[in-house]
Chains A and B, each alone.
Chain A
Amino acid sequence: MIPSDPKKVTKICFDRIDIPDQLKLSVARENGAYKFLPTVLEKFDADQIIDEVKTSGLRGRGGAGFPTGLKWSFVPRNTGKPTYLLCNADEGEPGTFKDRDIMRFDPHLLIEGMIMAGFALGVHDAYIYIRGEFLHEANVLNEAIAEAYAANLLGDKILGTDYSMHLTVHRGAGAYICGEETALIESIEGKPGRPRFKPPFPAIEGFYRCPTVVNNVETLSTIPAILEHGGAWHAAIGKPNNTGMKIFSVSGHVNRPGNYEVPMGTTMRTLIEEHCGGLQHGTVPKVIIPGGSSTPWILAEHYDVPLTYDDLAKAGSMLGSGAVIVMDETADVVAVTRRLAHFYAHESCGQCTPCREGTGWIERVITRVENGQGCENDLQVLNDASVHMAGRTICALADGAAAPVLSLLKHFPDEVRSRLKEKSS
């Protein structure tokens, strides 16, 4: 159970994660699932819920960190159109694997969060867009949803109230871009996932041009605790403007890779040394990618950075999805950049020229550099291709593709030069 004293909170989304048989509704309920739901449906109204979420300071856990309560308040009411809730479970950002654990170990937490969010937004049809590769997780969710329907936690007149909501799991089919919210909407409309121009934002015109809220799995899974304990309670955890707990998915050269839920503001060093058992080789990391492969790299000088949106921005990067990829002294940073360049070139949807052409260029040039066939001018080409696509496209994929290349050139120009065919002095 989550303590009502914010100072004593050690977990929110992972509170029940270690309990065996959690997938069964009866076991989840014994451990607190859906306990507060009747109170929300009977005693709360939409404005009250949105206010609590605003007070909580919760920011979106999918990558952009947009305040959740504010996003919900943009949804127009009485438009005569239905409002939809889409849960973003695409989890495609390299290094990220947190939503998978919520879904496969505590699916009822996500379902409960979606019912509460749906109730606040007046939603009657909600969907979980899950990446196609997560077949097991989709099956787990479907079984949990079936049990929830049977217990009248979903469907018509939930728990005897006037509120009805249907929930459907929708599998993607292997396209990173479909994690971008407007591409996700295109995809669930049965089309290729090509991002839409914003505005209009999905809150106004989203799924089939109706008001739509897209939220990440972790964001929605935090809602039950916020409503039960109050927005102020959540705001007292972590740091101002960076409230609550956050799950960090740590991978790469650490001894105990895994998901760790810690209070916002925990330092990177504490996360890596205390939680992950330190590095595989050496004592200081060579590179840390702090928020998924699309975020700029930080070096050992920022090892003590507190893990918050604001502190990572000050360190020149982003908290992103909380996917921490750690590289120790053995890492070949040119090879890693080439591999990420391949990823972005493969995943670019191709509709914007700077990204379609730029990601391909970058992959070809960095591959040649890695293979010892590059020349001095290639550094300029890599820089220009990156700078000229970032910020010039419909979505942020191009910015993500530029981040590793610009980081490599900024922090490791000598390592790049040492790989060139004609080495300049």
Chain B
Amino acid sequence: MSAVENALPQFSEVRLEEIRALIARYPHPRSALLPVLHMAQEDFGYLSMDVQTMVAKTLDLHLMAVREVVTFYTMFREKPCGTYLLEVCTNAGCMLNGADDLVRHLCDSLDIKVGQTTDDGMFTVAEVECAGACAGAPVVQINNAYHEKMDAAHMDAFIADAREKGGEK
């Protein structure tokens, strides 16, 4: 919160143009808040207090109106996560098809607990609620892309491949 006003992160001109077009689609600009937060998270990696302050200014909202939304919705992150966010669905359909074993395997092989990030900043493991893709159980979302019918071997291969490529997604 200590950031000086002009030191706040800023959206690109292209983004601001996109946001103006978006606002025009709703009866009230406030409706653009969730989509704009998605954009901010995409552009800045996570929603720091500075980013939230900037979003509030962009949409002419009180900071509290932004904060209560950021903290309500699970997809919005206030802290950075690994280059690869591995989100395993552990709800009923996936649980009945080995999701808990998969989480255990990921945590053991990466030597972290659920919610933690590896020291090299590459991988974060998280459990998520029903992904709505239960025919592909167990489902792992990796940076917003669905990977279905996952098992330890698939995940090991993915991790090895990601390590080989280094930090790039």
Among A82, A99, A170, A208, point to the contact of B34 (Cβ < 8 A): A170
In the bound complex, CA of A174 to CA of B37 (Å): 13
B68 contacts A171, C-beta separation under 8 Å? no
Which of A97, A171, A253 has the most chain B CB atoms inside 10 A of its CB?
Answer: A97
Which of A97, A133, A171 has the most chain B CB atoms inside 10 A of its CB?
Answer: A133
CB distance from B128 to the nearest CB of A (A): 8
Q: Mark A30-67, 1 if CB is under 8 A from B, else 0.
A: 00000000000000000000000000000000000000
Q: Mark B56-95, 1 if CB is under 8 A from A, else 0.
A: 0000010001001100111110000000000000111101
B132 within 8 Å of A (CB atoms):
yes
In the bound complex, CA of A329 to CA of B130 (Å): 23
In the bound complex, CA of A97 to CA of B34 (Å): 23
A259 within 8 Å of B (CB atoms):
yes
A360 within 8 Å of B (CB atoms):
no
Known: A133-B144, A135-B144, A252-B93. A174 touches B31 (CB 8 A): no
B4 within 8 Å of A (CB atoms):
no
A339 contacts B73, C-beta separation under 8 Å? no
A252 contacts B92, C-beta separation under 8 Å? yes
B5-13, B109-117, B134-142, B160-168: which lies at the interface: B134-142
CB distance from A7 to the nearest CB of B (A): 29
In the bound complex, CA of A251 to CA of B138 (Å): 11
CB distance from B163 to the nearest CB of A (A): 25
The total of chain A residues at the interface (CB under 8 A) is: 58
A132 within 8 Å of B (CB atoms):
yes
A14 within 8 Å of B (CB atoms):
no
In the bound complex, CA of A210 to CA of B95 (Å): 42
Q: Which chain A residues border B134 with CB–CB below 8 Å?
A: 94-97, 249, 251-252, 257, 323, 325
In the bound complex, CA of A347 to CA of B130 (Å): 11
CB distance from A321 to the nearest CB of B (A): 10
B32 within 8 Å of A (CB atoms):
yes
Residues of chain A in range 54-89 having any CB-CB distance to chain B below 8 Å: 82
B145 within 8 Å of A (CB atoms):
yes
Known: A173-B74, A175-B74. A125 touches B130 (CB 8 A): no
In the bound complex, CA of A288 to CA of B132 (Å): 18
A331 within 8 Å of B (CB atoms):
yes
B131 within 8 Å of A (CB atoms):
yes
Residue in chain A with minimal CB distance to B25: A168
Q: Which chain A residues border B38 with CB–CB below 8 Å?
A: 132, 171, 173
Q: Which chain A residues border B27 with CB–CB below 8 Å?
A: 82, 125, 207-208, 210
B129 contacts A251, C-beta separation under 8 Å? no
Which of B28, B38, B95, B135 has the most chain A CB atoms inside 10 A of its CB?
Answer: B135
A372 within 8 Å of B (CB atoms):
no
B33 within 8 Å of A (CB atoms):
yes
Q: Which chain A residues border B30 with CB–CB below 8 Å?
A: 189-191
Among A134, A175, A190, point to the contact of B132 (Cβ < 8 A): A134
CB distance from B38 to the nearest CB of A (A): 6
Q: Which chain B residues border A190 with CB–CB below 8 Å?
A: 28, 30-34, 61, 65, 69
A336 contacts B74, C-beta separation under 8 Å? no
Q: Which chain A residues border B158 with CB–CB below 8 Å?
A: none
A361 within 8 Å of B (CB atoms):
no
Among A95, A175, A336, point to the contact of B130 (Cβ < 8 A): A95
Q: Mark B34-48, 1 if CB is under 8 A from A, else 0.
A: 110110000000000
B96 within 8 Å of A (CB atoms):
yes
A325 contacts B75, C-beta separation under 8 Å? no
B146 contacts A175, C-beta separation under 8 Å? no
Known: A249-B135, A253-B96. A174 touches B75 (CB 8 A): yes
CB distance from A228 to the nearest CB of B (A): 29
B92 contacts A258, C-beta separation under 8 Å? no
Q: Which chain A residues border B74 with CB–CB below 8 Å?
A: 173-175
Known: A207-B27, A257-B137, A347-B129. A95 touches B76 (CB 8 A): no
B31 contacts A251, C-beta separation under 8 Å? no
Known: A190-B32, A257-B137, A347-B129. A336 touches B73 (CB 8 A): no
A339 contacts B90, C-beta separation under 8 Å? yes
CB distance from A356 to the nearest CB of B (A): 14
Among A96, A99, A171, A325, point to the contact of B35 (Cβ < 8 A): A171
CB distance from B131 to the nearest CB of A (A): 6
Residue in chain B with minimal CB distance to A91: B132
In the bound complex, CA of A355 to CA of B90 (Å): 22
Q: Which chain B residues border A331 with CB–CB below 8 Å?
A: 96
In the bound complex, CA of A343 to CA of B91 (Å): 7
Q: Which chain B residues border A135 with CB–CB below 8 Å?
A: 144-145
Q: Which 8 A-B pairs give the minimum distances between C-beta atoms?
A: A251-B134, A173-B73, A190-B33, A174-B74, A174-B75, A192-B72, A251-B93, A190-B30
Chain B residues proximal to chain A, CB less than 8 Å: 25-28, 30-35, 37-38, 61, 65, 68-69, 72-76, 90-93, 95-97, 128-135, 137, 141, 144-146
Q: A135-B145, A173-B76, A289-B92 are in contact. List 6 more A-B contacts (CB 8 A).
A: A133-B144, A171-B35, A174-B128, A191-B65, A251-B93, A257-B93
CB pairs A–B below 8 angstroms (9 shown): A92-B130, A94-B91, A97-B132, A97-B135, A175-B72, A189-B30, A191-B68, A192-B73, A349-B72
